[in-house]
Amino acid sequence: MKHRPSPAEKNRPSPAEKNRPSPAGKNRPSPAGTDPARSAALQTLAAVRERGAYANLVLPGLLREARLKGRDAAFATELTYGTCRAQGLLDAVIENASGRSTADIDGPVLDALRLGVYQLLRTRVGAHAAVSETVDSVKETSGRGASGFVNAVLRKVSRDDEDTWVARVAPPAADDLLGHLAMQYAHPRWIAEAFWESLRANGINSMGQLQALLASDDARPPVHLVARPGEISADELALIVEGEIGRLSPYAVYLPGGDPGALEPVRDGLAGVQDEGSQLVARAAAVAPLEGADAGRWLDLCAGPGGKAALLGALAAIDGARVDAVEPAEHRAELVRKAVTGLPVDVHVADGRESGLEPGYDRVLVDAPCSGIGALRRRPEARWRKQPSDVEGLAVLQRELLTAAAALTRPGGVVLYATCSPHVAETLGIVGDDDLLATAGLERIDTRPLVPETDLALGDGPHVQLWPHLHGTDGMFFQALRKR
């Protein structure tokens, strides 16, 4: 039976609508005297708060509308992403300084307060400028009463630095080191706990390593480019963009700064923006050893939005293979189609658990939907939206997708299971389940040799767990499994 949308679903904004900047002046704090960079940041924060938009999708459009480039665009980006990442810490400081719950503060005023506190604690903007600009913007949008409140809060915050405020609002390190570190580096406690559990499960038992991980996750990440195999080498790409060749992926280039979308190789489809860890996942699916000949039937079972499908398709073109890419949502399937233009990739709009595809694939990539807590540094507002309860439902889906992948794989073929989450329930809890693998007819194989030779530690295996603070990538997990 065809699914009929409920009234709530009919009225729910599409992803494009949710992330489209609102018309100027409509529920947006954009006073005439506000600095354009701060105005763009405030408008983005409002979109994130009001309708669950993604900052990295809203802000670029606002920057184009305001014609902000260079240092102004960089400043707006730092204000926006930094404020989103640090929201939990900023809110704790605001509540302490104001004596109010953030739930009781009007939305636009709270956006301005968060931005102002971020400037005071985490940027080099002078205290006087940060306070006066924030107060002036609130006065124009919300009135004198609100601006007086904001002035009082920000002046109180400005008297101390970030370390002093962390000591005031975080649990004492002597009593609760994990809780203290979570607040210090602006992470929900449950995510810090998940990181700690995963570190220990991977043989890392140092709280210093947890601190380094949280600090890396709290920093603005570098931009990683992927050179499309068969079209351009990483050496050539690095020369063109004046970047640095990656340490792990043979296709990776680290971009020193600027807008990657403005680069000619990216515009021409010779390169894309993709974390180095994601590149390693796609490559591992393409080079994992098979039993028997590779007939060239490859499958990406969870393909949206298409980054790994594009790299897999480029590698398939070199090897004379063809890729089927499955994505259940039409709007994400369209993103996959755009990403794989000109490559031997066929896109199917279907549920990976019931794809209807003919079994017998040599290689199947299961880049499973997950909590995404390994990629928080690239999704600044995400850490404050996710809940521990999300993981349980996802684990069920991950098991079902892995089982479906096994059924589509020929004997001797390989399934590569991957997540952008190090959470044990989504990683070792899935591929470490002997009963699940036995039922699916899968066996673990050592995945570490599938990463190009490196002096960076990859653990005891047989899986690979990458970390931002150790490998410079997102927190990617992947395990190769052979169909018996």
Whether residues 101 and 126 fall in one domain: yes
The one catalytic residue in 299, 368, 420, 428 is 420
The CATH number of the domain where 466 resides is what? 3.40.50.150
307 marked as part of a ligand binding site: yes
CA distance 19 to 247: 34
Residue 170 lies inside a defined structural domain of this protein: no
CA distance 41 to 245: 32
The answer to whether 362 touches 410, Cβ cutoff 8 Å, is: yes
Residue 468 lies in a domain: yes
Q: Is 306 annotated as a binding residue?
A: yes
Q: Are residues 349 and 465 in the same domain?
A: yes
Q: 351 among the known binding-site residues?
A: yes
For tokens 């924060």, what's the residue?
Answer: 45
Please indicate if the annotation marks 208 as binding a ligand.
no
Instruction: Please check if 352 is assigned to a binding site.
Output: no
**In this structure, is residue 15 part of a structural domain?**
no
Cα 281 from Cα 311, distance rounded (Å): 10
Q: Which DSSP helix (H) or strand (E) runs through 464?
A: strand 464-465
Q: Where are the alpha helices (DSSP H) in 355-450?
A: 389-408, 428-431, 434-440
How confident is the prediction along the chain (484 residues), in pLDDT tens digits per residue?
A: 333 344 344 444 555 556 665 544 344 444 445 689 999 999 999 999 999 999 999 999 999 999 998 899 999 999 999 999 999 999 999 999 999 999 999 999 999 999 999 999 999 899 999 999 999 999 999 999 999 999 999 999 999 999 999 999 999 999 999 999 999 999 999 999 999 999 999 999 999 999 999 999 999 999 999 999 999 999 999 999 999 999 999 999 999 888 898 899 999 999 999 999 999 999 999 999 999 999 999 999 999 999 999 999 999 999 999 999 999 999 999 999 999 999 999 999 999 999 999 999 999 999 999 999 999 999 999 999 999 999 989 999 999 999 999 999 999 999 999 999 999 999 999 999 999 999 999 999 999 999 999 999 999 999 999 999 999 999 999 999 999 9
What is the CA 308 to chain-centroid distance, rounded? 14
26 lies in some domain: no
18 belongs to an annotated ligand binding site: no
Q: Is residue 17 part of a domain?
A: no
Helix then strand then coil, in percent of the chain rounded to 5, is 55, 10, 35
Q: Indicate the pTM of the whole model.
A: 0.91
Query: Can you give the CATH number for the domain in which 101 is found?
Result: 1.10.940.10
* Active-site residue, 84 included: no
Number of independent structural domains in the chain: 4
Kind plus residue range of the DSSP H or E element containing 327: strand 322-327
Give the domain-ending residue among 273, 293, 315: 273
Q: Are residues 63 and 94 in the same domain?
A: yes
Q: Which residue has the tokens 């499994």?
A: 481
Q: How far apart are CA 417 and CA 434, in angstroms?
A: 15
What CATH number is associated with residue 235? 3.30.70
412 and 308 fall within a common domain: yes
Residue 302 labeled ligand binder: yes
- 143, two tokens: 């009135």
In a domain, 172, yes or no: no
Q: Domain span at residue 70?
A: 36-163
Q: Is 260 in the same domain as 335? A: no
Among 246, 222, 224, smallest CA distance to 234 is for 246
Quick one: 332 and 291 in the same domain?
yes
Residue 61 among known ligand-binding residues: no
Residue 40: inside a domain: yes
